[in-house]
Structure formats: structure tokens, C-alpha cells
Amino acid sequence: MNYPEIASRMFNTPLMLQPAKAETIARAFGPRVLGLDDANGRQMGIVGERLREEVDWYGEKTYRGAHRVRDQIGLIEIEGSLINKGKWIGKSCGMTTYEAISIQADDCRTDDAIKGAIVEIDSFGGEVTGAFDCAEKLFELSAVKPTIAVLTDHACSAGYLLASACQQIIVPASGLCGSIGVVSLHVDVSGWLKKEGLNVTILKAGAHKADLNPYEAIPEDVLARELAELEEMRVEFAATVARYRAGRLSTEQALATEAGVYRGEKAVEAGLADAVARPSQVLDAFEAQLGLSA
């Protein structure tokens, strides 16, 4: 397990993640991700879409083209925590990558045999890095072919950003969506260090080189700057969702949610979703909408 990589993705970086999920991750991994040795990882770059050439332990290609739920309907599955890079398709160790979602969106868009796509989402969100680029890929697909986001059961924060890029959003009666906001976590271990009789001296060149280090409380000016940057990201998030859901949700309405989450029919009333339905009902209805029913 590459704990330093997990730590870099969790702490002192903006996350589009539902806060309860962030707390769960912090409690589960926090004690294990600080200060451990690095581990060897697989190549993580995304330039050149190298995922297309990635092979598994048996030498078989990881990605063999866009999945289909029916002959002419593509399927993109988005589940668990969302991260920027990773050479796999679907969920692995509880994570789905923007890299894989983007490639599938591109292939659904360019494959003439695919007439529409279902995007199945069950995610509380994840990293900001890569999220907007991935959402644009889904929006580009939606511009040329019918798309429908089916929540099974949640699309919060970055998960909702991706859902909003589809032409329609279907939420189950018990499903949640929203959380249009940004959160960041910071660990201050100065109290524990003092209790243990340890003193950390930070040597730095550049006034901000050690900002957000875990060995001292965040200075007021740094805290103000970080909060301002998070608010800028929240506004960008809201404006992007409003562009995707033009006429159904404005930037002002998205901001007015104050990163709240909405369940079922309340999500529809708030303009965050388009209809309440059981996920099992959607496929046949979508096929009929596309004129593909037998």
C-alpha cells in the first residue's frame, strides 16, 4: 500500500468530497499514512492515454474498449472515491479514476455503433485534480449523444460534478446528490509532539515553503488565503454545474445550496436532478427513448 501517495491525496489539498466521507477516510487512514516509507508504484502519467496499452498480470490489456450494457448503449461506471490517475477501468480498492472515465467517454463519443450512454454513479466524490477535465469529457459526449446519469445511490461533490455533465440525472427515492463545495483537511500534531517531549525545527527558504506543515497550527494569514482559494473553487464548481444544467440550475441556485445534499424528490425540486426512479427501471426507458426497443 502506497501510504505516502494516499497522504498526499488526502491532506492539505482541495477535495470535492462529501465531508462525512472525508472524516471516515481521515479516521481510517490518518494513523497509517504519516511518515511511512514509500512503496514502488506503477507508472501514473496520463499524457498520451497510456491506459490503452496497460496490461494486467497475465499480459492482457486492462482496457478493451467502451463497455456496453446493451448492443448500442454504452455504460460508464463511476463508483467509490474519485482520483485523477490510475491504470484500471471501474472500481479498484474502492477508487475509480478520472483517467479511465475520460477514455471511456471519448470512446462512447467516437464509436458510431454506440447511440447513447448510461453513466452509473455511486460516489461521494474525491480529488479536485482532474475532476473538471473529466467532467468536460462527459459533457462533450452529452453534446453529441444522449446521456443519462443513474445514481445507485449517491452522487455527491465531484461525483455530482460528473453527473451534472449528463443530459439527465435520475436519482432513487433514497439517493443523495449535491454537496457543491470543496473541503480540505489539515493535521496539526504539535500538541502530541509537545506531550511526547519532541520538538520539530522547520528550516525553510521562502516565507511560504512550510505552509500547512503538520508540526504547527496554521497561521491566520495562511488560513485566510486557503479559505479564499477554496471559495474560488466552489464558485467555479457551481458555475460549471450551472453551465451543464442550463435552464434547470443557475450558478446562484447552486451556491445557495451551501454544499448541502438533497435526497430523492427534494433533489429534483432543487434542480439538482431530473426525476426519481428505481435504477432498474431506467435501462428499458432509455432504450425506448433512443428508439432501440424491439
Q: Does residue 133 lie within any of the structural domains?
A: yes
At 142 the pLDDT is 98
Q: How many CA atoms lie within 13 A of 89 on its CB side?
A: 22
What is the rounded CA–CA span in Å between residue 12 and residue 130? 17
pLDDT (0 to 100) of residue 236: 97
Q: Where are the alpha helices (DSSP H) in the chain?
A: 3-10, 19-33, 98-110, 131-144, 158-164, 190-195, 220-244, 251-256, 265-269, 279-289
Answer yes or no: is 285 within a domain. yes
Rounded to two decimals, the pTM is: 0.82
Residue 156 inside a domain? The answer is: yes
pLDDT of residue 40: 37
Q: How far is CA 15 from CA 18, 59, 139, 282, 289, in A?
A: 9, 35, 21, 31, 36
Domain of residue 275, residue span: 3-185+221-289
| The predicted structure's pLDDT at residue 38 | 38
Write down the pLDDT at residue 267: 97
Q: What is the pLDDT of residue 156?
A: 96
Residue 85 falls inside a structural domain? yes
* Residue 49 CA, distance from chain mean position: 19
Mean pLDDT by 10 residues, the chain (294 residues): 58 65 56 43 56 74 81 94 86 89 95 95 93 97 97 95 98 95 90 90 90 90 94 97 97 97 96 94 90 73
What pLDDT is attached to residue 232? 96
In a domain, 21, yes or no: yes
Tens digits of residue pLDDT in 195-248: 999 999 989 899 888 888 889 889 999 999 999 999 999 999 999 999 999 999
Q: Does the residue 31 lie in any domain? A: yes
The residues, ordered by sequence, that sit 6+ positions from 7 with a Cβ below 8 Å of its Cβ are: 29, 33, 34
Report the pLDDT value the prediction gives residue 18, as an integer from 0 to 100.
Answer: 61
CATH number of the structural domain spanning residue 256: 3.90.226.10
Residue 272 lies in a domain: yes
C-alpha Rg value of the chain to the nearest Å: 21
Residue 36 is predicted with a pLDDT of 36
Mutual angle of helices 131-144 and 98-110, in 10-degree steps = 20
- Which amino acid, one-letter code, is at 164? S
d(CA 68, CA 25): 32
Number of domains in the chain: 1
Per-residue burial over 160-198, b if 16 or more Cβ lie within 10 Å, else e, is bbbbbbbbbbbbbeebbbbbbbbbbbebebbeeeeeeee
Classify residue 134: in a domain, yes or no: yes
pLDDT at 248 (0 to 100): 96
- How far is C-alpha 269 from the geometric centre of its chain's CA atoms? 24
Cell of 106: 471519448
